[in-house]
Amino acid sequence: MPKNIRLSGTITDSDSPELRKVRAEILYHLFLEGWNIYNGNGDQAIHLWNIQRKIDESHGFVFLPGATIDDVLNSTSIFVGYQTGDMALNGKPTIMMNSDKSWTSWLNLLGHLHERGTVSQHWQEILTVVNKPQDVVKALKEGAVKVEKVRTHQKRAKPDSKPGDPSMKEPSKKVCVFCSASTKEEQYLKMGYKIGQDIARNGFGCVTGAGRTGIMGEVVRGGYEAGGWTGGSNVPHIIEMEGLPDGLNQFWPRDDIYTRMEVMIQKSNAFVILPGGMGTVQELLVLLQLKKKNDPLLKKKPIVLVNASYIKNGRTTKGFWNPMISLAEQHGLAGHMDVVEDVDGVIERMCL
């Protein structure tokens, strides 16, 4: 039975003849091996509301040279899907053709976050990078990934959570914090707790991904213990493994990580990005794309990236998010966010 492969990319009149040639060569090799091809003409778009369906209907993914920001977001989403245990990705290879080096900055970001400990997998556990069209078919045959082996979230004893007061009035202004739910780095945990407290003390509601652990868990705890309102969204398979944090006044369950992100954006008036992994990268990319497109959903909603320091070889080094900033600059997105080095005064300066 033929399998379905999904190609990345959108073909435009400005595309170079070389990129068109590469796409044609890959199409030739895939057809020869009996693959059915989605987006062969480069005329299909993927959005938050349909990305899960696109993943479900495909048996593998090939990302081509000439990476656009849409391609980067889609590849990030697939990577996050493997991490979070999306069984719709089980056994499905992801191939990246980097002959023009347009994927290098994204791969560098993945490597950096792996070194920092916010991405537990090395990207080579999930992705196969090739440079020649004829290598794509071989990589598809050999690159199948078993979700159980690479996912970050492992099932453990689920503690009971204590909900917050459901009658507490929902604030008119809410700040969403995107961050890691896995890191145990003490300086980042303290940062999360402080931003949660600052949000509450300034009279704003705090929106998160409703994670119990890592920085995310500390953000919720900080807001809750400061007497603030907290709300969040999460998906069943992560809740089953980790449980929910204490103190949530409202919870918006969603079926997948994409609609989870969507409701968090809809509910919030501003966004703070703390140290995180590829889930945090995915969330920031979505925000920056919406800003660039002047989407009404992000109108007058500030984005603040906290480019904190980190410890490397026993020394404090600035710029946790430097590779992310470089990626944003490459794709013309850096001007849509403010960058600071710590959380002090971030909430007070937002002028919501």
Going from the N-terminus, what domains does the chain have, and what CATH number goes with each? 4-150 (3.40.50.450), 174-350 (3.40.50.450)
- Return the pLDDT at 234: 94
Choose among 191, 193, 238: nearest CA to 217.
Answer: 193
* Per-residue pLDDT reduced to its tens digit, 316-329: 889 999 999 999 99
Provide the pLDDT confidence category of residue 14 given band limits of 50, 70 and 90.
low
* Per-residue pLDDT reduced to its tens digit, 223-266: 999 999 999 999 988 887 778 999 999 999 998 888 899 999 99
In this structure, are residues 273 and 346 in contact, taking their beta carbons and an 8 Å threshold? no
* Per-residue pLDDT reduced to its tens digit, 167-184: 899 999 999 999 999 899
* Per-residue pLDDT reduced to its tens digit, 42-61: 767 767 677 888 888 999 99
Provide the pLDDT confidence category of residue 154 given band limits of 50, 70 and 90.
low
| β-bridge pairing 270-273 and 60-63 | unpaired
Residue with tokens 């809740």: 239
Give 129's strand partners.
96
Rounded Cα gap, residues 34 and 164, in angstroms? 55
CB count within 10 Å of CB 165 equals 9
- Return the pLDDT at 237: 80
The average pLDDT across 201-215 equals 95
Give 250's strand partners.
231
> Does residue 214 have a pLDDT over 70?
yes
- Return the pLDDT at 158: 58
Provide the pLDDT confidence category of residue 17 given band limits of 50, 70 and 90.
confident
Average pLDDT, the chain: 90
Rounded Cα gap, residues 191 and 183, in angstroms? 12
Higher pLDDT, 314 or 270: 270
* 283 DSSP assignment: H
**Cα dihedral sign for 338, 115, 257, 50?**
positive
Rounded Cα gap, residues 249 and 170, in angstroms? 8
